[in-house]
Amino acid sequence: MTVQPEKASAVVESCWCCGTQYSEAELVRLGQHPEVGVCLRCARWLQRRAVQRLDERHPSPGGRLRGGIRAIRATVIRKGWHQRGQLGVLLRWLDRHLP
Compare residues 46 and 87 and give the one whose CB is closer to Zn ion.
Answer: 46
76 binds Zn ion (CB under 5 A): no
Is 41 in contact with 18 (CB distance < 8 Å)? yes
Nearest of 12, 11, 16, 10 to residue 37 by alpha carbon: 16
How many CB atoms sit inside 10 A of residue 90's CB? 13
Give me the residues paired with residue 39 across strands. 27
- Candidates 11, 18, 71, 89; binder of Zn ion (CB under 5 A) is 18
Least Å distance between CB 26 and Zn ion?
9
15 binds Zn ion (CB under 5 A): yes
Least Å distance between CB 80 and Zn ion?
21
Each residue 19-58 as x (binds Zn ion by CB under 5 A) or -, in order, gives: --------------------x--x----------------
Is 22 in contact with 12 (CB distance < 8 Å)? yes
As a whole number of angstroms, the distance between CA 86 and CA 13 comes to 33
Q: Which residues here bind Zn ion, judged by CB under 5 A? A: 15, 17-18, 39, 42
